[in-house]
Amino acid sequence: MKTSYSSLAFLAAVAVVVVPSATTGFVVPTVVASSSTSTSTSSLNVAAEPPSAPSKKLISPPKNIADLKDTSEELYDDNVQSTYGRYKLTIDSGHGCYLKTTDGKEYLDCVSGIATCALGHNNPVLTEAISNQMKKVHHVSNLYYIPEQAALAEWLCANSNADKAFFCNSGAEANEAAIKLARRYASNNGITKPVIISAHQSFHGRTLAALSATQQPKYHKGFTYDGEMVQGFDACTYNNIAELEEAVIRATSDGKGLAAIMLEPLQGEGGIIPGNVDFFKKARELCDKHKALLIIDEVQAGMGRTGTLWGHEQLDIIPDVFTSAKALGGGVPIGAMMARGDAASTFGPGDHASTYGGNPLACAAGLAVAKYICDNNILDNVEARGQQLKAGLEKLSKKYPTVLGDVRGWGLLRGVECIADDITAGELVAAAMNEGLLLVPAGTNVVRFVPPLIITEDELNIALDRLDAAVKSKAN
Ligand SMILES: Cc1ncc(COP(=O)(O)O)c(C=O)c1O
C-alpha cells in the first residue's frame, strides 16, 4: 500500500507499533496500516484544537551583533543567568592565538576557551571543514548512519587503545556516559551497590553524577539531597596509593563492589597536578583485581595538550575507558566516551543516547582537528613550546621568588603557583590582562597557561614578557 502522510484518513487508519531504536535510546514509533481500529484524539485525552493564544508580535534579534558594542554587558546582566563571574572584556573576533575585543584591543590568548581552541581562532582548515559540512548536511539523528562519525571514531580508536566510541556534546556528558557504563558493567558482574572512586580536588563536570565524582565540596553545596550527592562515589587523595587502597577496601565491603576508579591524568581545575606513574599503575592493578574499569578523564589533558595525544600515555597505563571533549572539536561542541575490550560492548541499543551526539557538523570539526594535528606535527610543537614555557616560567619564578613558586605541568598545560600572601592568582591574571595577555587561574593559587597548540616560539616569548610585566606591576 502506498502511504500518503498528508492524508487525515490515513492517520485515522493506522496503529503505532514500537520497535527498539539502536540510537535514540527510546523506541521508534513505526506507522503500520490497520484495517480496523482508529485512535481517536479523545481516547488519548488530547484537545482536538490547540487553544487560540492572543497573537504577540515577535521581536527580532539585532541584525548586526556589532550594533550591541556598548550595551552587551548590560544586556548580559539583564538577560543571562549569573552562573559565571566574567572579566570586563567583550570579545569581538579572533585570529590565530589573538583575540580582539569590541573596543579594538588585542590580547594574546593563552586560555583558548580553557584548553579548547587547540587550533586557535579562525583557523582556515577548521573553518573550511565546518562551512563545507554546513552546505552538505549539518545534523541528522543517530537513527541513521553518519559517515563523519564513523571516520572520527576510527581515528580515535586507531590512535588509542580504545575499540569503540560513543559521542556526545561536552566533557560532563562524556563523563556521565562513562559513569553509566561503569554501573552497567558492574551490574553485569552481579554488583548491585557499585562504587566509583575518584580523587580529591578532581573536576569531572557539572551534571549531577559527574559533579558527584568531582570531589570538591564547594561545588556540591546546595545541590545535595539530605546532605548527599548521587550515591556510589568515594574518594582518595590524588597520587596517594595508601588512600586509594583503603578506598578500594571500603568499596568492596558491606555488600558493595568496585565499579571503577576515575581519574584525570593531570588534575587541571584542581591546580595543575600531574599524575604519578606508580599511583596510576596501582589503580590499574586494583581495577584488574576487582574486575572494575579504569576511567581516565582526558577532557582537559587529551587531544595533544600534554605533548602526547592522550595524557595517560605519560603514565604508562592503558585505561578501559577514557573521555574527551574540549579540544576534540577545536571549539565546536563534541564529546566522546571511548572504551576498550568488554567495556566497549557493554552498552546495547537503547542504553544511552544523545540527540546531537556525533552529528555531521561536530564530527567534521573533530576530523579537521585530527587531520590538522597529524599533518602539522602539532605534538612536536607542543613538546617544544612546552619546554620553552617551563623554562620561561621557572626563570620568572626565580626572578620573583616572593610572588611565584612551583612550576608544574606537561606540554602546554602548565601552571605557576602564586605564593604571595597579598596577591591572588586571580589578581595576577587580571594584571596579565592589563598587559594584553589572557591567562586563567586553576585551583586556589595557580596561574594556568593553556594556549592554542599552534602557538609559535615568538608568541610564547611575548606571553612570557607580558607575564613578567604583570608580576612586576603587582610585586612593586
Ligand atoms: C578534566 C575535566 N573533565 C570534565 C570537564 C567538564 O567539561 P565540560 O565543561 O565540557 O562539561 C572539565 C572542564 O573543565 C575538565 O577539565
For residue 333, the ligand 1 atom closest to its alpha carbon is 10
Instruction: Tell me, rounded to whole angstroms, the distance of Cα 457 from its chain centroid.
Output: 28
Specify the residue with its C-alpha closest to ligand 1, atom 13.
205
**Ligand 1 centroid vs 224 CA: distance in angstroms?**
20
Strand, helix or coil for residue 96: strand
- Cβ pair 136, 161 in contact under 8 A: no
Q: 268 CA distance to ligand 1 centroid (A)?
A: 9
pLDDT tens digits, one per residue of 424-435:
999 999 999 999
Average the pLDDT over 391-420 and give the result. Answer: 98
Q: Output the pLDDT for position 476.
A: 73
- What percent of the chain shows pLDDT beyond 70? 89
Ligand 1 atom nearest to CA at 325 = 10
Q: How confident is the model at residue 47 (pLDDT cuts 50, 70, 90)?
A: low
Q: DSSP class of residue 55?
A: P
| Every domain range in the chain assigned CATH 3.40.640.10 | 125-375
6, pLDDT greater than 90:
no
Q: What is the C-alpha to C-alpha distance for residues 330 and 370, in angstroms, rounded to an integer?
A: 9
Residue 386 alpha carbon to ligand 1 centre in Å: 22
Mean pLDDT of 334-342: 98
Instruction: For a ligand 1 pocket test, name from 212, 303, 326 the mutation site with the most ligand atoms within 8 angstroms of its C-beta.
Output: 326
Report how far residue 103's alpha carbon sits from residue 156's, in angstroms, rounded to the nearest whole number.
41
- pLDDT exceeds cutoff 60 at 33: no
54 to 51, 57, 216, 226: CA distances (angstroms): 10, 10, 49, 44
Q: Which fold has domain 125-375?
A: Aspartate Aminotransferase; domain 2 (3.40.640)
State the span(s) of the chain assigned CATH 3.90.1150.10.
107-115+378-475
Please state the φ and ψ torsions of residue 168, each to the nearest 5 degrees: -145, -150
CA-only gyration radius of the chain, Å: 25
Alpha helices in 346-420 (DSSP H): 360-375, 378-399
Please tell me whether the overall predicted TM-score, pTM, comes out greater than 0.85 for this model.
Answer: yes
Q: Which residues line ligand 1 (CB under 6 A)?
A: 114, 170-172, 175, 203-205, 264, 268-269, 297, 299-300, 325
Are the beta carbons of 266 and 299 closer than 8 angstroms? no
What is the distance in A from the centroid of ligand 1 to the CA of 113?
Answer: 12
Position with higher pLDDT, 88 vs 17: 88
Q: Is the Cβ–Cβ distance between 244 and 284 less than 8 Å?
A: no
- Give me ligand 1 centre to Cα 450, in Å: 14
- Measured from the Cα of 268, ligand 1's closest atom is 16
Higher pLDDT, residue 227 or 75: 227
> Which strands sit side by side in the sheet containing 404-410, from one edge to the other?
404-410, 413-418, 446-449, 440-442
Pocket test for ligand 1, best of 300, 321, 328 (most atoms within 8 A of CB): 300
Give which of 261, 331, 251 is closest to 297, Cα–Cα: 261
CA 310 to centroid of ligand 1, rounded, Å: 15
Ligand 1 atom showing the smallest separation from residue 206 Cα: 11
CA 174 vs. chain centroid, Å, equals 7
pLDDT digits (tens, 9 = 90+) for 151-169: 999 999 999 999 999 999 9
289 alpha carbon to ligand 1 midpoint, in Å? Answer: 29
Residue 367 Cα to ligand 1 midpoint, Å, equals 21
Ligand 1 centroid–CA 174 distance in Å is 9
* Ligand 1 atom with least separation from CA of 326: 10
pLDDT band at 189 (very low <50, low <70, confident <90, very high): very high
- For helices 378-399 and 360-375, the axis angle rounded to 10 degrees is 80
Please report the pLDDT score of residue 37 as a whole number: 40
pLDDT 10s digits, 63-74: 788 777 667 788
Q: 356: which 3 cell numbers?
A: 546531537
Say if CB 298 and CB 324 are below 8 A apart. Answer: yes
Q: Work out the mean pLDDT of the chain and round it to a whole number.
A: 91
Compute the distance between CA of residue 147 and CA of residue 130 in angstroms, rounded to an integer: 15
**Of all atoms in ligand 1, which is nearest to the CA of residue 173?**
11
As separate numbers, helices (DSSP H) first and strands (DSSP E) second, the chain gives 13, 19
* Beta pairing, strands 233-236 & 98-101: unpaired
- Nearby residues of 91 by Cβ (< 8 Å), 6 or more positions away: 99, 100, 101, 102
360 pLDDT higher than 50: yes
| Amino acid at position 116, single letter | T
Separation of 269 CA from ligand 1 center, angstroms?
9
Q: What angle do CA 418, 423, 426 make, to 5 degrees?
A: 75
Residue 104 pLDDT exceeds 60? yes
Judge residue 227's burial from the number of C-beta atoms within 10 Å of its C-beta, 0-12 exposed, 13-18 middle, 19 or more buried: exposed
39: pLDDT strictly greater than 80: no
Amino acid letter, 389: L
Tell me which residue has its CA closest to atom 7 in ligand 1. Answer: 171
Given the candidates 3.40.50.1820, 3.90.1150.10, 3.40.1390.10, 3.40.630.30, the CATH classification of the domain at 107-115+378-475 is: 3.90.1150.10
- Our mutation pick for probing the ligand 1 site, out of 203, 334, 448, counting the most ligand atoms within 8 A of Cβ, is 203
C-alpha of 257 from chain center: 28
Indicate whether 84 pLDDT > 70: yes
